[in-house]
Amino acid sequence: MEYVLLALGLVLILEGLVYALAPSLIEQLLAALRELSIEARRLMGFFCIVIGLIFVWCANFLVG
């Protein structure tokens, strides 16, 4: 449970930084995402999941 809270906290920090430091970038990113097809967005989501799992595995490998 400790790791889940840590991960959620880190995600919120990163999201907050983007919104605080570059709010116009969010608007541009959302406009670019609207232009992508559903399949392209889905593929991008799966790619992000795989990259996230690799990061978690590497962190676990280095620590444990």
Q: What are the start-end ranges of the H helices in the chain?
A: 2-21, 23-35, 38-63
> Whole-model pTM above 0.85?
no
> Does residue 64 register a pLDDT over 80?
no
What is the average pLDDT score of the chain?
Answer: 92
> Does residue 18 register a pLDDT over 80?
yes
Rounded average pLDDT over 10-35: 93
- pLDDT of res. 2: 81
CA 30, CA 35: separation in Å to the nearest integer? 9
- pLDDT of res. 60: 85
